[in-house]
Structure 1
Amino acid sequence: MTQPRRNALTPDALQMMDTIARSGSFAAAARELGRVPSALTYSVRQLEDALDVLLFDRRSRQARLTAAGQELLSEGRRLLAEMDAVANRVKRVSTGWESELTIAVDGVVSRQTLLELVEAFYALRPDGQGSPGTRLRLRTEVMAGLWEALISGQADLAIGVGRDLPPHAGIEQQPLGEIPFVFCVAPHHALAASTDPISDDQLLPHRAVAVADSAQRMSPRTVNLLPGQDVLTVASMQAKIDALLRCLGCGFVPEPLAREHIRAGRLVVRPVGRINAPVRLGYAWRSSATPQPRQAPQGLALQWFLEQLKSPATRRALLERHQGQPSVD
């Protein structure tokens, strides 16, 4: 009985489960996979028969997973990621260049500087004929979501991770720098007229604007929010600044990101009573805690980006250059 069950867990079957779960219905999954719904339903029944379990609750019109189905989906996604990782390592051994490199960045990182690094990478000519051929994937994460993407294998390099995070096996870290946060409000906000440091009691009646932590499995982090305070939650730091400009609340933002608005008077900085120390950030990448003789060497694409990050000017630019501001030398 073990062999048929093993044979049923093919990459196609695992991908099918993932597609159904993501799309929310058999019909939508069938369209995405280029199959007719009846054929997809038949494939699911075959998988259920082979595993002798019920994967979907047939009483629901939606593709609702049973507990067994949820477990298969979770483990299946992990297996698919491992398969991709193996294929990537094999390719890396052959050429030295990864077939794909995923870089996750926090919302406080300068997109302009990051894209300039990408542009320089694509200009490489390692063979004298063309670019390395590594496909780059850029993704934005927030707070713990950045660390989660790295340790889960969804990212190879993370830029902007908090330096207060504990060490993790297989992850190496280096400092990126410090970024100051300032408390900002719109000029017509009720707190804009305050010149003395604003206490927590004075902040409590006013709505705060917060950026949602993008972590899905790790415990999300919250910063500078008071118990019982009304909160408007947005998806990115830029969205937070936009909300502050519209006087939808108050909050702490990275000074470099808000600098142009502060200089133009569209936002005003006010002192607060609580400790507001600069945030220490770093960059981290996946490596091996226990290298083996036959282990694939670190990919050349990751090596290239790590080499660029050794430059103090590059690290400063990643934290300082926003909205067309010149690089800090």
Structure 2
Amino acid sequence: MDGIGVIGSLTLDQLTILVTIVDTGSFSAAGRKLGRVQSAISQAIATLESLQGVSLFDRAGHRPVLTETGRALVAQARTVLESAERFEAAAARARTGVEPELVIAIDPLVPTAPLMESLRGLAVAYPNLPVTFSTEGLGGSLRRLRDGTAAIGICLLLPEVPEDVTARAMMRVRMRPVVAPHHPLASLGRPATRGDLEPHVQLVLSDPVDTERGNYGLSSSRLWRFVDLGRRMDFLLAGFGWCRMPEHLVEAPIAAGQLQYLELAEDPTPPEGLAIYAAHARHRPPGPAGRWLLAEFWRHLVMDKLVAE
């Protein structure tokens, strides 16, 4: 960090000296690392002790040793210095136009492998950028874009892209009707009609705020609604009902015999899959780091041949 910086009656320089003494093992070693004479190091610590009214080192022995108070305050000093470094890094990013933080919201149906690879690259390209990542319930990503609490949403936009959102289709997720092998529909022996489906529970992934929003592909009169995809999978495996699941999430249970595909006589879900968008509020475009992430995400999808043509 450049500059001394003053916090109340102490300085960041004093805290740096204290931490360096502990890390290097002695006053003289700290002086060599910081390019100071030992007397200046000793004076800085003496001043810090006097101002704070505490004893940081026990000087009774051959080499000063941290007191109990000193050990506790060293931990606090590290926290203060780390916070100051984050402050300086955020200011530096602001000077270059990089967003102070990047908040990403993702829908539960989105495959995460290509996004994880892109996030690893982001950590290298922008090592000091605070990134917040959260998986939202269905519809949650769009809400966060609209209220400004997320810069980027990786999400479904059904039935169409809203006018206040800018979005690019990144991939498609194929949805497959599935059911547990011991469920009555599993032994039907033919494509299930709407009449076959109607008396059975359909396990629906639902918007936790607006349960009537996004009701697409409903075929049963009995609906059990879920916000969490994993919880819905538990009930699906237990045979409580049927539902459409992302193909990439049911491949393993299908192979293990825990689930089986359910053929439908009429299925309104697009056979090519549902479009997953990278989106942002139209009046709040992402900054350089956000744009970099989206470009890298797209590159990974192209490499993995997941992009919808």
Between the aligned partners of 2:137 and 2:115, the Cα distance in structure 1 is 16
Contact 1:98–1:300, Cα closer than 8 Å, also in 2: yes
After TM superposition, give the deviation of residue 237 of structure 1 in Å: 2.0
- Is the contact made by 2:203 and 2:225 (CA closer than 8 Å) also made in structure 1? yes
SS at match of 1:123: helix
| Aligned counterpart in structure 2 of residue 224 of structure 1, from 214, 217, 228 | 217
The change in CA–CA distance for 1:151 and 1:317 in structure 2 (over 3 A counts) is: farther
Pairing partner for 1:248 from 224, 227, 240: 240
Report % sequence identity: 24
Structure 2 residue matching 1:158: 3-state secondary structure: strand
Q: Residue 280 and residue 198 in structure 1: after superposition, are their counterparts in 2 closer, same or farther (change >3 A)?
A: same
Instruction: Give, in whole Å, the separation in 1 of the partners of 2:206 and 2:171.
Output: 23
What are the residue-to-residue correspondences of 1:88-127 with 2, within 5 Å?
93-124=94-125
Q: Which residue of 2 aligns with 1:285?
A: 280
2:298 corresponds in structure 1 to: 310
Residue 248 to residue 218, structure 1, CA distance change in 2 (3 Å): closer
Alignment of 1:23-38 (within 5 A): none
RMSD: 2.9
Do the aligned partners of 1:256 and 1:319 also contact (CA within 8 Å) in 2?
no
2:194 matched residue in structure 1: 200
Is 1:212 matched with 2:202?
no
Please tell me whether the aligned partners of residues 177 and 315 of structure 1 are also in contact (alpha carbons under 8 angstroms): no
Taking a change above 3 Å as real, the CA distance of residues 113 and 241 of structure 1, as seen in their structure-2 partners, is same
Q: What amino acid does structure 1 have at the position aligned with 2:173?
A: I
Distance 1:218 1:205, change over 3 A: closer
Q: Is the 8 A contact 1:156 1:286 kept in 2?
A: yes
Change (3 A) 1:284 1:180: same
Give the letter aligned to residue 116 of structure 1: E
Distance 1:283 1:245 in 2: 31
Match of 1:299 among 237, 262, 287: 287
Question: 1:269 is aligned with what amino acid?
Answer: Y
Please identify runs of 4+ aligned residues in structure 1 that moved more than 6 A: 317-320
Question: What residue ranges of structure 1 are gaps of 5+ in the alignment?
Answer: 1-88, 290-296, 321-329
1:271 Cα shift? 0.7
CA pair 118-255 structure 1, distance change in 2 beyond 3 A? same
Q: Is the 8 A contact 2:118 2:297 kept in 1?
A: no
State the match for 1:233 in structure 2: 225
Residue 247 (structure 1) shift: 0.8
The reply on whether 1:182 has 2:170 as its aligned counterpart is no
SS for the counterpart of 1:162 is: coil
Q: Which aligned pairs between 1:152-163 and structure 2 lie closer than 5 A?
A: 152-162=147-157
Checking the alignment, whether the CA contact within 8 Å between 1:195 and 1:271 is kept in structure 2 is no
Letter in 1 for 2:115: L
- State the alpha-carbon separation in 1 of the partners of residues 144 and 303 from structure 2: 21
Shift of 1:91: 7.7
TM-score (norm 2): 0.62
Give the SS at the match of 1:284: strand
CA contact (8 A) 2:114 2:301 kept: no
Query: Aligned residues, how many?
Result: 216
Which protein shows a greater Rg?
A: 2
Determine the C-alpha separation between the residues in 1 that align with 2:97 and 2:235. 45
- Partner in structure 1 of residue 250 of structure 2: 258
User: Which residue matches 1:68?
Assistant: none
SS in 2 for 1:249: coil
